[in-house]
């Protein structure tokens, strides 16, 4: 399993390219900006993009859904049902307009708690983790020991809960649920900023220490 991180868009969203070296199947997470480098990598490694996944509905994470679908038409656009309800409302918001987000196509596949996506023989479990937004999800691969968390957790911080649809109590419960279901040495790949580990955040993240105390 290989993961490449591309900070894209005005807010440097971690757009991800995740692929299985054996099957050459891959998925993209949160297409946020110009995808030229990802396209080059896909072409160079002869990858097949199976999914385009949104971790949540905020327009910095969905800004280039349409371009990604046009570029990889056989890929399924994947999001939570709550994300599907409001993704283009967010695109039309002042926030969406300010970052040049484009209207998103309808999802091809809606996922919820406990669903599993696969590339090759690698499986990825979906956690529904509302709080930062109603449609937030995390994507967990226990075999390679990493979890993609969107804006749920950051290195040394947690997601905002002062936005429309945000809820601090839900955010806390989502963090507790996620941390209870992954190993302490699991790598956390957030929606912005550097990667970290569950153990590091349990030790050093003051927000998480308060939540789990």
Q: What is the pLDDT of residues 166-202, one digit of tens each?
A: 999 999 999 999 999 999 999 999 999 999 999 999 9
pTM, whole model, 2 decimals? Answer: 0.97
CATH of the domain at 124: 3.60.15.10
pLDDT of residue 167: 98
pLDDT of residue 156: 97
pLDDT of residue 82: 98
pLDDT of residue 184: 95
- Its domain, for residue 127, covers 2-212
Query: Into how many domains does the chain fold?
Result: 1
Residues of the chain with pLDDT under 50: none
pLDDT of residue 213: 82
pLDDT of residue 56: 98
Q: Are 56 and 83 in contact (CB under 8 A)?
A: yes
For 76-87, write each residue's pLDDT tens digit: 999 999 999 999
């Amino acid at each position: 399993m290989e993961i490449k991180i591309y900070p894209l868009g005005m807010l440097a969203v971690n757009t991800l390219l995740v692929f299985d070296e054996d099957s050459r199947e891959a998925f993209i997470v949160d297409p946020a900006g110009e995808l030229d480098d990802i396209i080059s990598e896909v072409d160079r490694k002869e990858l097949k993009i199976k999914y385009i996944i949104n971790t949540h509905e905020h327009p910095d994470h969905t800004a280039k859904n349409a371009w990604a679908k046009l570029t990889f038409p056989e890929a399924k656009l994947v999001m939570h049902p709550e994300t599907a309800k409001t993704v283009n409302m967010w695109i039309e918001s002042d926030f969406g307009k300010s970052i040049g987000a484009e209207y998103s196509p309808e999802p091809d596949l809606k996922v919820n708690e406990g669903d599993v996506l696969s590339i090759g023989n690698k499986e990825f479990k979906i956690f529904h983790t509302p709080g930062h937004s109603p449609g937030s999800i995390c994507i967990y691969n226990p075999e390679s020991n990493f979890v993609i968390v969107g804006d749920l957790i950051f290195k040394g911080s947690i997601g905002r809960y002062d936005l429309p649809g945000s809820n601090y109590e839900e955010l806390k419960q989502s963090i507790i649920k996620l941390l209870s279901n992954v190993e302490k040495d699991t790598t956390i790949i957030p929606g912005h900023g550097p990667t970290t580990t569950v153990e590091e955040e349990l030790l050093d993240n003051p927000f998480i220490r308060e939540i789990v105390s």
